[in-house]
Chain A
Amino acid sequence: MLLPRFSYHQPASVAEALEVLGQHGDQAAIIAGGTDLLVNMKHGKLAPRHLVGLEGIDGLEEIGADNGSLVVGPRLTASALAASGELSGAAQALALGAASLGSPQVRNRATVGGNVCTARPAADMCVPLLVLGAKALLAGPDGPRELPLDEFFLGPGQTAKKPGELLTGLSLPRPAEGSGAGYEKLGLRKALEIALVNVAAAIWLEPDGKTIKQAKVALGAVAPVPMLSPGAEAALTGQTAGEEAFAQAAEAAATDAKPISDHRGSAQYRREVVQVLTRRALGQAWQAALGQ
C-alpha cells in the first residue's frame, strides 16, 4: 500500500506551524504519531498535499503546571501517559484510557493530541479526558483560545478546530486529594481493539471520605462523539458513595446514552453494557479515591 504524495513540513515553533497551516489551508494536515492519519491516507480516504510534523516544536511533549491546572502536551504518546506519575487521583483516568489503546506499538506512536483531534466516538483517551473536564488549548491566526472538550467534539472525526488552528495542549484540573478514576472497556479482543462501549468515571470525595463532592461519567461508542452523562453526574453529586448511588448513576448513564445499532453491536446491547460498565467504573474510581 502506498501513501499518496505530499510535502512534509517541520516547523520549529508554534508560530511557524501556524504560518504553514495558514499557507495551505485545507490542503494541510497535522501529523503527530500518524497511527490514524497514515492509515486513512493509505486507504485513500484522505490525501492532504502537505503534512505538518510537530516533532521540531519544543514543549509539546510534557506535562506542565499552569496555576491550578495541568497542561498535557499534545504530542505525549499513549505509552508516556499510561506510565506517567503525574496523572494521579482523578487524572489517572487518562492513564487508564491510554493504557488500553491499541497495542504497545500503537501506544508508542499514538498521541493524546491526535486522539482528541481524530475525535472517534470510542477514542480511548477522549472518554477519560471528558470526565476530567479537560479543555482544548488552541493556537490560531487569531490568537489562542480554549474550548471545553465536550464542545470540541462535533461528530465522528469532526471537531471545532479550524483548519488553520493547532492544538497546543489539554488543560486539566490539578489532581486533588480524595479523587479517583475508573475506566472500563468492552471489546471482543483484549488487545488491538476498538471499544464496543467504554466508560470513564471520576469521583471527588468530601473530606469525610464518604460523600461525593463531584463525580463525572463519560461514555464512548454510544453517540456520534464521546459524551458526558449529565444524568449520572446529577445522580451522584452529594450522595454517599456506594453501590446504591452507583447503580442509580449507571441507570442514568444508560438513559443518557444514544447508541445506534451497527455491525459491531446493537443499540440495546450497548445500552445494557453502559449500565454495567458505569457501575464498575464508578466502583473502581471510588476505591482509587479511597486510596485502595
Chain B
Amino acid sequence: MGGDYTVVGSRARRLDGPEKVTGKAVYLDDMQFKGMLHGAILQSPHAHARIKSIDTSAAEALPGVKAVLTAGNVPDTKYGVSPARYDENILAIDRVRYVGDEVAAVAAVDLETAHQALELIKVEYEPLPFVLDIDQATAEGAPQLHQEYLGNLTAEVHQEFGEVARGFAESDLIRTDTFVNKRQDGGFIEPPRSVAVHDLSGNLTLYSSTQVPHYVQRTIAMLTGLSVGKVRVVKPYVGGGFGPKASASPCDILSSLLSMKTGRPVKIAMSREQVFLHCRARHQFKHVMKTGYTKDGIIKALEHTCYLEGGAYSSFGIATVYYAGSLLAAPYRLPHMKYDGYRVYTNKPACGAQRGHGGVAARACFEQQMDLVAEELGMDPIELRLKNIMETGDVSCNDLSMSSLGMKECLEAVQGGSDWNAKKGKLPPGKGIGMAAGFFVSGAGYPIYRSETFHCTVTIKVQEDGGTVLVKTAAAEIGQGSDTTMAMIAAEAIGIPLEAVRLVSGDTDYGIDLGAYSSRTTLMTGHATREAGEQVKEMILTALAGELGVERERLDIKDGVVEIKGEAVDFGPLRTKYLKEHRGWGGMPSGDKLTFTEAARMAYLKLGTIVGTGKYKPPVLGGKFKGAAVGTSPAYGCSAQVAEVTVDLETGQVTVDNITDAHDCGQAINLTSVEAQMEGSVSMGLGEAMFEEVKFDDQGRVLNPSLGEYHIPTVLDMPRMRCIVVESGEPNGPFGAKEVGEGAIMPTIPAILNAVHDATGVTITELPITPERVLMALKQKKRDE
C-alpha cells in the first residue's frame, strides 16, 4: 500500500504540458531540414495481383525527381515484427497482396512533384483471385497469399492446461457462446511520419513518430545493411500510438533508403487514408467459448476457439493469436483451459497490436457469457465474479503469476461507486446497468526478438553544479506521460523535488528501451530509473559521509535536503566552500540543513561527474510449453467497470450515460496520469463497442478511410466517468507500481454489452452495437416470445 513518498503518488503537472498547450511542442511534421526532399509511396490498387512490369522511366525523367525505388533497386530482405514470420518485402516483389501494398517510392523536391511522379509510374498488373474473410481464406482451394505459410495460416495455437474433459464433467451448467468484434483503427490523431537523414559519415538518423525507437532502429539496420550503431532513431513528440505505431513503418524504411540514395534528408508522411491502408491495428476476432460452471457458480473449464482475420502480413499476429487465448486464464481461477487459435491471412491491410493486445474481444466474450451464466444461476454478476477471482499469490493454469491483484477491491469499488445494489434489476425498461472485469500485463516478459537484452537502461547524470539531475532514457513518450513518470521516479529515488529533474528521452543514443507497448514503461523503465537514481544517491551520500566523517547509514536525502540521523554534525566548512564558489549569487543555501545541491557539488569535486546507471529485465517467467512467453509479465494490473446505458427502444440507439471504473495500478506514480489512462482506455473501448469498424467493399478497398466515416467518439459521445484508483502495492514494481494503460480497456466493451442486456433483454454478440443491430435484436426477441 501507498508508501511514505514525497513525489510518487502526487498529482504532478506533466513536464510536456506547457509546450503542448502553447503549440511549441515539436512533432515530426514541425521539423525543418535544409535541402529536404519529399517522398511518396505508390500503392497497389488491387487486393491481389501479379506485377507483370513496372516502368519508372517517365517518373525518373520528371524534373525535380531525385530517386525512384522499386523492388528492383532495394534489398530483397524480408522483414516484419516477429523474426519467426518475416513475411514482408520493402516493396512488392512480383506480387501485391492487398489494396495499399507498397509498390514504389519516389523522392522529389516537393510533394506535388513526388505525387506527379507516382502518376507517371506505369505498373502492369495481372489481377489474381483474392480472399477477404476467414471463410474464403480457409476454404479448400483458396488462393494462397504466401507460399511459405500454406492454408493462409500465419500461425495456429493448440494448448490445453489441466484436463478440460474433467472440468466439464464436474460442471452443472455448460454454455457455448460466440462473439465477433470488428477490425479497428488506431485512430491516433497524428498520422505516422518520418524524416531520414543519411550523412557524409555514413550515419543514418531517422526521426520518426514511432512508439518503439529501438525496434525501428533494428529493422532499419537490418534492411539497410548499416550497423546498428550507425542508425540512430529519434522520436520527437508523437501524436498517439496505441499499438499500430509499434513497428517500423513504410515511412521509416523508405525515407531511410531514399535518403541513402539521394544524400539528402527525405520526409515521408502518411495521409489519413494511408493510415487506414497501413492499418496494423486491432484484428477482427471470432470467438467461440464453451464454459462450464458448477451450480454454485464456480468456473470449472473453458474450451475456446478463436479465428483472427489478419490481413496480408503477420505484423504482430503471432503474439496476437497467443494473447487471445492466454489472457483468459486470469483474473478468475480457471483450473482447466483448452485453446485453439488460428491467425488467418486475407488480402486486406495487415492487422497488428492495439491497446489490450489480443485480449479485448476475448474478454468481452467471456465477461458477457459470465453475465448470462449469472442470469441462469439467479446470481448477481458481481457476486459470481467475487466467487471466482484470483488473489495475490495465485498462479494461473498457464503459469501467469499474480504477484499482486486487487481484483476484489476493484469489484467492491465499482459496486459501491456506481450504487450497483440500488440499481441492478431495478431500472425501468430501456435503462440498464452492467459490469465486467479484466486484467493485463505490465510489460511483456520477453522482447519481440529472442534475446537476453536488458529491456531498458537509464542514465542519470548529476549536473556538476549540483542542483539538478538529468535523466536520459530511450523510453518513448507518446502521450501516456512516461517522461513525467520517469522524472517523478528519479526524484523520489534520489530524494529531490520534481523541479530538480530534467529529462531527455526517445532517442536510441540514450540507451536501450524496448518502447511504449504492452504497458511496460512504468514498471520496467521505472525500475531502471529508480536503480540509476539510487546509485546517484549512494555515490553522493558515500562521498558526503567521508567528507563529514560520519557513517553512511546516518545520511539520507529527502525533498532536496540531507537528513543526518543522530547527533548534529558540523557541515559549516562545506557550506562555506559552496558559498565561496558562488560569491555574488542570490538564492544560496542557508538554514540549518545541508542541501542536496551542496552535497552533490561536494561529491562532484571529489569524484568528478556523478553518473548513475540503471537497467531492467524481468526474471525468467512462465512455463515451458510452446507459446508460454506470451502473457507472461512481472506483474498484472486489473480493473472492474460498471456501465449505465439508455436504449432508445424504438430506434435501437444506445447512449452510455455513466462509467464507474476502478483499476489496480499497484501504486500511482502520477495520480492524474493514472486517471487519464483509465479515461482514455474507456473512450477507446467505448468507440470499439459502439461505433468503430473498418469496412471494405467486395474488391478489398476500405470504404471508410477517414475520421469522418470511421467514427471515434467525440466529446458528446463520452459519458461522465468516475475513476477509482486501487493500489495493491506490486512487489515487482518500482515503488509498487504496475500498469494502467491497457488493463483499463478490458472491461469497457462487456460492461456496456451487459448493460444493454440489462436494459433490453437482448444479447448483442457482434460489434459495434449499432442502433440497427439493437433494433433488429429487439424485434427478433419479440418474435421469439
Q: Say whether A associates with B.
A: yes
Report the minimum CB–CB distance from B705 to chain A (whole Å).
10
Report the minimum CB–CB distance from B544 to chain A (whole Å).
58
Q: Does B222 contact A (CB under 8 A)?
A: no
Query: Do the beta carbons of A269 and B776 come within 8 Å of each other?
Result: yes
Residues of chain A contacted by B695 (CB below 8 angstroms): 263
Q: Which of B115, B717, B775, B776 contacts A189 (CB 8 A)?
A: B717
Query: Do the beta carbons of B770 and A188 come within 8 Å of each other?
Result: yes
Query: Do the beta carbons of B714 and A192 come within 8 Å of each other?
Result: yes
By DSSP majority rule, is chain A's interface helix, strand, loop, or mixed?
A: loop
| Chain A residue at minimum C-beta to C-beta distance from B692 | A188
Query: Do the beta carbons of B691 and A191 come within 8 Å of each other?
Result: no
Query: Do the beta carbons of B714 and A189 come within 8 Å of each other?
Result: yes
Query: Do the beta carbons of B651 and A186 come within 8 Å of each other?
Result: yes
Contact with A along B705-747 (1 / 0, CB 8 A): 0011101011111000000000000000000000000000000
Which residues of chain B from 545 to 576 have a CB within 8 Å of any chain A CB? none
Query: Do the beta carbons of B708 and A263 come within 8 Å of each other?
Result: no
Q: Does B772 contact A (CB under 8 A)?
A: yes
Contact with B along A180-191 (1 / 0, CB 8 A): 000000101111
Which residues of chain A from 190 to 246 have a CB within 8 Å of any chain B CB? 190-194, 196
Which residues of chain B from 262 to 301 have a CB within 8 Å of any chain A CB? 271
Query: Do the beta carbons of B714 and A2 come within 8 Å of each other?
Result: no
| Chain A residue at minimum C-beta to C-beta distance from B687 | A189
Query: Do the beta carbons of B651 and A188 come within 8 Å of each other?
Result: no
Query: Do the beta carbons of B115 and A263 come within 8 Å of each other?
Result: no
Query: Do the beta carbons of B111 and A263 come within 8 Å of each other?
Result: no
Query: Do the beta carbons of B772 and A191 come within 8 Å of each other?
Result: no
Contact with B along A24-47 (1 / 0, CB 8 A): 000000000000000000000000
CA distance A265 to B771 in the complex (A): 9
Residues of chain A contacted by B271 (CB below 8 angstroms): 1
Residues of chain B contacted by A192 (CB below 8 angstroms): 707-708, 711, 714
Query: Do the beta carbons of A2 and B115 come within 8 Å of each other?
Result: yes
Q: Does A266 contact B (CB under 8 A)?
A: yes
CA distance A266 to B775 in the complex (A): 12
Query: Do the beta carbons of B716 and A190 come within 8 Å of each other?
Result: yes
Report the minimum CB–CB distance from B692 to chain A (whole Å).
9
CA distance A167 to B406 in the complex (A): 66
CA distance A269 to B771 in the complex (A): 9
Q: A2-B115, A186-B651, A273-B651 are in contact. Are A193 and B711 (CB under 8 A)?
A: yes
CA distance A189 to B703 in the complex (A): 18
Query: Do the beta carbons of B651 and A189 come within 8 Å of each other?
Result: no
A-B contact count (CB 8 A): 52
Contact with B along A259-277 (1 / 0, CB 8 A): 0000101100100110011
Which residues of chain B from 85 to 137 have a CB within 8 Å of any chain A CB? 111-112, 115
Report the minimum CB–CB distance from A65 to chain B (whole Å).
36
CA distance A269 to B716 in the complex (A): 24
By DSSP majority rule, is chain B's interface helix, strand, loop, or mixed?
A: loop
Report the minimum CB–CB distance from B694 to chain A (whole Å).
11
Query: Do the beta carbons of B716 and A191 come within 8 Å of each other?
Result: yes
Residues of chain A contacted by B650 (CB below 8 angstroms): 276
Q: A2-B112, A2-B115, A269-B776 are in contact. Are A186 and B771 (CB under 8 A)?
A: yes
Which residues of chain B from 746 to 785 have a CB within 8 Å of any chain A CB? 768, 770-772, 775-776
Report the minimum CB–CB distance from A247 to chain B (whole Å).
12
Residues of chain A contacted by B775 (CB below 8 angstroms): 269, 272
Q: A263-B704, A276-B651 are in contact. Are A269 and B772 (CB under 8 A)?
A: yes
CA distance A191 to B770 in the complex (A): 16
Query: Do the beta carbons of A189 and B711 come within 8 Å of each other?
Result: yes
Query: Do the beta carbons of A263 and B703 come within 8 Å of each other?
Result: yes
CA distance A126 to B691 in the complex (A): 26
Q: Does B224 contact A (CB under 8 A)?
A: no
Q: Does B659 contact A (CB under 8 A)?
A: no
Q: Does B159 contact A (CB under 8 A)?
A: no
CA distance A193 to B690 in the complex (A): 14
Q: Does B653 contact A (CB under 8 A)?
A: yes
Report the minimum CB–CB distance from B658 to chain A (whole Å).
16
Residues of chain B contacted by A189 (CB below 8 angstroms): 691, 711, 713-714, 716-717
Report the minimum CB–CB distance from A269 to chain B (whole Å).
4
Which residues of chain B from 394 to 447 have a CB within 8 Å of any chain A CB? none
Query: Do the beta carbons of B653 and A186 come within 8 Å of each other?
Result: yes
| Chain B residue at minimum C-beta to C-beta distance from A280 | B650
Query: Do the beta carbons of B714 and A190 come within 8 Å of each other?
Result: yes
Query: Do the beta carbons of A265 and B717 come within 8 Å of each other?
Result: no
Residues of chain A contacted by B709 (CB below 8 angstroms): 194
Residues of chain A contacted by B768 (CB below 8 angstroms): 188
14 contacts between A and B (CB under 8 A): A2-B112, A186-B771, A188-B768, A189-B691, A189-B717, A190-B714, A190-B716, A190-B717, A192-B707, A263-B695, A265-B772, A266-B772, A272-B651, A273-B651
**Interface residue ranges, B against A (CB under 8 Å):** 111-112, 115, 271, 650-651, 653, 690-691, 695, 703-704, 707-709, 711, 713-717, 768, 770-772, 775-776
Those 3 A-B pairs whose CB atoms lie nearest each other, nearest first: A190-B716, A269-B772, A191-B714
